[in-house]
Structure 1
Amino acid sequence: MGKLDGRVVIVTGASRGQGEQEARLFVAEGAKVVLADVLDDRGEALAKELGQDAARYVHLDVGREADWSAAVVAAKSAFGAIDGLVNNAGILRFNELANTSLEEYQQVVQVNQVGAFLGMKAVIPELEAAGGGTIVNTASYTALTGMAFLTSYAATKAAIVGMTRVAAMELAGKGIRVNAMCPGAIDTPMTNPEIVAGEGRPGDGDSSSRALDEFYARVVPLGRIGRPEEVARLALFLSCEDSSYITGQPFVIDGGWLSGVSVF
């Protein structure tokens, strides 16, 4: 038996990276997964690979309320109900605070913060109708500490942690648990722009790849960047009965980076 047998879960940003690994793991654990993204070709290909009985793809711009309404309708049409949500979709922009334009700031807010808000708002009535469920929001370890050049990103991720706590308090009596994941550096196309879609990480001989590996070996106690499948396992834990007495919490998954700075 799988840990998610009989459950229907929407995963946003599911075409690649963390979302793809979450979708794959959830299907392996018995869930029906609605893959939501704006990368239609990749999302449709993944849904086809996972099989029509287990997965469906839906185009979803998380910052558009109408898209969320359509995604909920599509999920119910395909699988009859909605039992869970993983708010994974997000974007990252590097810039100094003084050089960040209002347009850039609002773009990050619209996807990361508004997207998570709209997602929760859209699925809450469905989770309540199903007798309860789970919401897993993807924040960041930068929500809990500072990092230069990430004003817009860190602000949105801190907001997600705040919304997670409020939602958990409001929804506990309805049998809905809400938690947040706070990943550190994870080896995905968003955090490593050298990754080319469909090609995985750069080769070991690539100088930028070696530089990244050396950097994370120095600053992360576990000595490496994280893998998206490791984050997927945390999402699974927070979406299944293994975490039945946990709600309103941010879970850091960063290889120990937040613990402090190594002097070695």
Structure 2
Amino acid sequence: MALNRCYCIEDIIEPGMYKARIKVKVCRRWNGNSSPTESVSGISMFLTDSSNSRIYCWIPSHLADRYTEDLEEDKSYEIHNFMISIYISRCKWSVDDKLFMILMNSTIVLPLQIGDCFTTKETFNFQDLSQLDVIEILSRKGTMDFLINKDNEEEVFLDFEITDNIKKISIRFRNGLASLCNNSFNILNDHNLEPTTISISSCKMQFNRYTNDIVLIDMPSTRYFINYESQQDTILRQRYHEINNTGTSLFKDNF
């Protein structure tokens, strides 16, 4: 690998050691590489670059303390000397992603100066409802509630439904994300675009064995965006208005 070369994420097409540079923004960061119920294993991040490409990045647990303050969410950095590895199934975040980045003891992380920082749009890898990144129409807004989980702890949750204009699926956000999302729903009003779309990144599909339904739940990496402008958002709205123009409405729940 050329030492002085500055890579873009889309240039990374094979595994190996990269001694060159890459300029990225930390668009998402969370402890661990799994669900909230499993033990923490290092630090996980999604990195984006100026072309809005995205790559998953993992910091091993023995290096986590070193990078705790060096890599902050929503800030830009230049990273030198990193490893690219092939995804294994248990940590894969997207069906299309084949490679991910690993930071090492020899990795150098430098904050970008103000003039070098860049603004990127939130990057998704939208798939069907069974995948991890989804954008759909909000069809039913639920109310906050709580339950006692398997650890005998009180857990706040918010249930709501989304639709792709054909089928609906249930979403459950828990604790802090539930409160944040509920506040977002409460400020929706008649001045918002119709319909209301919600983009959810890095959620987990779970099968409810009691109801035989699929529900998407949040993870430490989950973020949501209401009426976020994207190509997929435009397509979804066009489909919605085409259906409504025929006199058919899929939205029976008022909120």
TM-score range, shorter chain: under 0.3
Q: Return the structure number with greater relative CO, CA threshold 8 A, min gap 6.
A: 1
- Structure index of larger Rg: 2
Structure with the higher strand share, 1 or 2: 2
TM-score (norm 2): 0.27
Structure with the higher helix share, 1 or 2: 1
